[in-house]
Amino acid sequence: MPDNFLSIIMPFKNVENYIERCLNSLLNQTYNKFEIVILDDSDDNTPSVICSFNDDRIRYISYKGNISQKLNYGIKIAEHDLICRMDGDDFCDLNRFKKQIEVFKSDKYPVDVIGCNMIYVDCKGRQIINKKYPELHNDIAFYMPVFTSLPHATMFTLRRNIVNVGGYNEMCSGAEDLDLFLRMIDYGLKFYNLQDYLYYNTIIYDKFTISHSYNKLSYVIGNKYLEKTHKENPNFFHQKALLEYYKGNTNKSRYYFVKSFSNLEIKFFKFLRYYFVSLLGNRILKYLRNKQIATRVSFFVKRYFGVDTIFLKTK
């Protein structure tokens, strides 16, 4: 690692109700060698809240642009080579930086990109549910074309790992994390998720609802990657089936699930689970996805009954 300092890149807009909590969780970290690069184009009271902090580790920059443009600019002007992500409406455990840096220094895993598990909270900071992500690279790489299997906001990596793959694609803002991570995996970089719950993701209704345009863009990105790599990919049919099931066409998903089962890529009971649910059809599944019905039900059940449902499982 080139030096022991971090550059935390924070692009956001209109987070006046959350930014104080966010900055306090950063400024009080047990590891304090960092700068916070804020790229903001708010039209609410967010700048005033930030200016109330008297800490020279905060660099506030007024910058208009989409999230990919902000991220590329922040990485360009960052003073340090170790890049860390953070969203302005979230907060993190006070040991987050210490624990993620320890992974970089450790010889246990050869890793280039590090994330961690998350805890979903409501707008008042009350815990809703824990979200566990796959730990090791092979599992992360398997799910990445379907889901973003390393939480973007928890990312630690070196600047060169982003620059060497061309940075963030400024034409696909909204699925910029998926696009970047797939290019990183294709480049040969290794991913790892700490299994500690170090990041608190605030569920805001407008932010939480996944738009049709996002699903469409992430589907195109994931499908393009799978088609590009299918010749050397032993899990191609299984991944295509999952991508079609969650973001595409259910008829296609059934075809690919049969192919994946025939090729021994998927176990029998998992095959049956997906196959029969896909019989609901595109219209019903599309409605459930766009309204996030399954995830909302899962959050409700977990919060009030303490029970996980199958909708939260990624495997």
- At 170-220, the pLDDT tens digits run 998 889 999 999 999 999 999 999 999 999 999 875 554 445 556 788 999
- Model-level pTM? 0.87
Phi, psi of 223 (to 5 degrees): -65, -40
Residues facing 199 on adjacent strands: 92, 118
3-state secondary structure 234-281: CCHHHHHHHHHHHHCCHHHHHHHHHHHHHCCCCCHHHHHHHHHHHCCC
**pLDDT (average), residues 101-108:** 86
How does residue 290 score in pLDDT terms, banded at 50, 70 and 90?
low
pLDDT in tens, 28-76: 999 999 999 999 999 999 999 999 999 999 999 999 999 999 999 999 9
pLDDT of the residue at 273: 76
On the CB side of 90, how many CA atoms lie within 13 Å of its CA? 24
Q: Judge residue 297's burial from the number of C-beta atoms within 10 Å of its C-beta, 0-12 exposed, 13-18 middle, 19 or more buried.
A: middle
Q: By mean pLDDT, which of 127-131, 135-139, 232-236 is the weakest?
A: 127-131
Q: What is the mean pLDDT of residues 282-309?
A: 57
- Tell me what percent of the residues of the chain surpass a pLDDT of 70: 85
Q: Please tell me the predicted confidence (pLDDT) of residue 32.
A: 93
Between 61-65, 103-107, 250-254, 283-287, the lowest mean confidence (pLDDT) is in: 283-287
- pLDDT over threshold 80, residue 278: no
pLDDT of residue 24: 97
pLDDT higher than threshold 70 for residue 299: no
Mean pLDDT of the chain: 87
Instruction: Give the β-pairing of 113-121 and 127-131.
Output: antiparallel
Mean pLDDT score, 113-133: 91
Could you give the percent of the chain with pLDDT greater than 90? 66
| Amino acid code (one letter) for 119 | I
- Span 302-315, pLDDT tens digits: 555 554 443 333 33
Per-residue pLDDT band for 229 (boundaries 50, 70, 90) equals very high
**Alpha-helix residue ranges (DSSP H) falling in 40-187:** 46-51, 67-77, 96-105, 137-143, 159-163, 176-187
pLDDT of residue 173: 80
pLDDT at 181: 98
- Identify the helix (H) or strand (E) that includes residue 198: strand 191-202
Which tens digit of pLDDT belongs to each residue from 142-165? 999 999 999 999 999 999 999 999
pLDDT above 70 (res 277): yes
List the structure tokens of 225.
Answer: 């990657």
